[in-house]
Chain A
Amino acid sequence: MTLLQLAWSYLRARPLPALLNVLLLALGVGTIGFVLIMDKQIGTNMNRDARGIDLVVGAKGSAMQLILAGIFHLDAPTGNISLQAAQELSRNPLIRRGIPLSLGDSFRGFRIVGTNADYIDLYGGQFAAGHGGKKPMEAVLGSTVAATTGLVLGGQFIGSHGLVEGGPAHADSVYTVVGVLKRTDTVLDRLVVVDTESVWLVHEGIIVDADERKVLEAERQITVLLVQYATPLAAVSLPRTINDETNMQAASPAYESARLFRMIGVGADVIKAFGAVVLVTAALSLFIALYHALSERAYDIAVLRTLGARPSSIALTLLLEAMILAVLGSALGLVLAHVMVAAMAAAIAEQDSLRLNALQFSWRELWLVLPALLAAFLAALLPTWRAARTDISSTLARRG
């Protein structure tokens, strides 16, 4: 028979108020936990997707849009840039590597990216089956694409024009799957990677006439160029040079991601504040419950004291009740947070924009127990103090 058992017996005797307090605490912890998990996962994903890319060069327009389209494959691209200009830029000594991306087509909602082998290397992509495309019209599937579409090696498909599902099909251009990638937990999982040549082939058709071919080749375009600097010093001059002296635009993923995060952050702060308000409400409710218990249990407290209980034992019992509720509330809250992430993941799965994993747990989430414990502790402070000071003799005399 411990004080913990005694505290538990009181909670069990009045399950409904206890449940209400647990639920309130859970809602507060859950809401804050939800925001923190989302924050963490979105941040991690964005960092992973942008890793190794110092600059994105594309058509003029919104820098944010360029980043969203060029790195995260979320938004529509700002336009195209000339292949010639991109190739010229790639030869700049400040640039170690430039990876061209050609966007515009998709397969069942997954973007088809015309690029070269560097793009798969950038994300450390490894082949689960097959190999990288060597010829035009050979396609490598990201793991999610393969899993969702059910396409396997040797499978054939037709790309459709436009980045969303349902665009007109390029019926005469058939891609063949030659490779399937292992999961990388990056944006690569959701992409179909083909050789840049393929995209031109699909859109130009097979040209036999040599002159016409020359004209078309001179007009060839790509969508963006992902740039890796040769030296950190490039950050000082290169973006400005591109923005001022060419009709292209250079955008920094680090800067734009930070800007995006600040915008999301306002929303996150609002939800976190809501969670804090719920926690305060929970503390208040707990305080009222404990205070009520105090008058209801005055005689019990007096009896315990006649049995030799010290005032501190009485106070501790009440405090333990609050702490039990806090621990239960936080545990339920953490479950709730992950359920909310799962619900969010399900809700946005259609848009295929954010990758969320509701089953990804972190030991750091246990820190969320602290605000609940603190709320319970503060709520219990006055009631425990009063309980410890209960006048036993007069309490007993009143009823005895």
Chain B
Amino acid sequence: MIGIEHLRFAYAGGADVLQIDAFVVALGERVLVTGPSGCGKTTLLHLLAGLLLPSAGQVIVNGQDLAQLSPAARDRFRGRTVGIVLQQFHLLPTLTVLQNLLIAQRMAGLPIDRKAAGAMLKTLGVADRLDASPHQLSVGQQQRVAIARALINRPRVLLADEPTSNLDDEACAIVTDLLLQTSSDHGACLLIATHDSRLKSRITRQLALPRTAVEAVA
């Protein structure tokens, strides 16, 4: 679960770019973070992943106040508790599909489990591309591998940043299905940051961020 209280975020010396007074996401719940470009959607996801720390207020993920952790513990926490799907599905280009999942286990400090990685890729329908290079995959396959990688360490929270922004309707539906399906299979909260209105019919709970936080303050 996720709890946000009196959150303020500003870059050093700048005005607040994000402010959320209170927001709670229950275990297994799905939330769409919406708003136009530049409203702080990505910033919020980074705060939830502990990649940024709040200027004020608290971000609590899975019962843990991220700001209270040491940097090393925060990295470990991120690796084990938070799964992140990036907009470009950025797979590590020099590794194979399978290795992209194994490195996620390694970086989280978890034991390497090829069987689990293989099973995860099978679930997502890319089991036949284990030894392929990312650049040999279709965009759709890359998405599946990226989602598999985000889920391999069974995170409690799955964050997706604009996962459908460059996709046509059909692909958009497939990715959305995948995210919903897999997060519920793993009992994880799902937060999708998007300005894609197509998703609104699929996920009802929304956290709508104002056009800019600066405007909101004003």
* A interface residues (Cβ-Cβ under 8 A, vs B): 1-3, 5-6, 9-10, 12-13, 299-300, 303-311, 313, 392-393, 396-397, 399-400
Contact = CB atoms under 8 A, between A and B. Distances in A.
Given A309-B79, A310-B75, A400-B88, A304 B42 contact: no
A392 B51 contact: yes
Given A304-B103, A308-B78, A299 B94 contact: no
Return the 7 tightest CB-CB contacts between A and B, nearest first: A308-B79, A1-B102, A9-B94, A308-B108, A13-B94, A309-B107, A307-B107
B42 A397 contact: yes
B94 A10 contact: yes
A399 B93 CA distance: 16
Interface string B59-101: 0000000000001100111111000101110101111000100
A103 to B, nearest CB: 67
Contacts of A6: 92, 94-95, 103
A306 B92 contact: no
Given A396-B86, A397-B42, A308 B75 contact: yes
Contact of B107 (A10, A12, A304, A400): A304
Nearest to B109: A308
A5 B87 CA distance: 26
Contacts of A299: 90
Looking at chain A's contact residues, the main secondary structure is helix
14 contacts: A1-B105, A1-B112, A6-B92, A300-B92, A300-B93, A305-B51, A305-B78, A308-B78, A308-B107, A310-B71, A311-B75, A392-B46, A396-B51, A397-B46
Contacts of B200: none
A14 to B, nearest CB: 9
Nearest to B91: A303
Given A310-B72, A400-B42, A400-B86, A1 B103 contact: yes
Given A393-B51, A400-B162, A12 B86 contact: no
Contact of B84 (A3, A306, A310): A306
A320 to B, nearest CB: 13
Given A1-B99, A12-B94, A313-B107, A306 B76 contact: no
Contact of B51 (A5, A306, A311): A306
B120 interface: no
Given A307-B103, A309-B107, A400-B42, A393 B75 contact: no
Contact of B80 (A308, A310, A396): A308
A303 B79 contact: no
Contacts of B88: 399-400
Given A2-B106, A6-B95, A306-B84, 12 more contacts: A1-B102, A1-B106, A6-B92, A300-B90, A303-B92, A307-B79, A308-B77, A309-B79, A310-B75, A393-B43, A396-B46, A400-B42
A296 B68 CA distance: 33
Contacts of B104: 307-308
Contact of A400 (B78, B87, B93, B108): B87
Interface in B9-55: 42-43, 46, 49, 51-52
Interface string B143-167: 0000001000100000001100000
Contacts of B80: 308
A206 B203 CA distance: 121
Contacts of A9: 94-95, 99
B93 to A, nearest CB: 7
Contacts of B78: 305-308
B51 A304 contact: no
A8 to B, nearest CB: 9
B131 to A, nearest CB: 13
A304 B60 CA distance: 23
A81 to B, nearest CB: 76
Interface in B91-148: 92-95, 99, 102-109, 112
Contacts of B99: 1, 5, 9
Contacts of A311: 71, 75
Contacts of B109: 308
A396 B112 contact: no
Contacts of A304: 92, 103, 107
Contacts of A5: 99
Nearest to B161: A400
Nearest to A399: B88
A303 B46 contact: no
Nearest to B49: A306
A9 B87 CA distance: 24
Nearest to B112: A1
A2 to B, nearest CB: 7
A202 B72 CA distance: 90
A392 B104 CA distance: 16
B75 A305 contact: yes
Given A396-B42, A400-B42, A400-B161, A303 B90 contact: yes
A393 B149 CA distance: 19
B51 A13 contact: no
A135 to B, nearest CB: 78
A9 B106 CA distance: 15
A85 B149 CA distance: 94
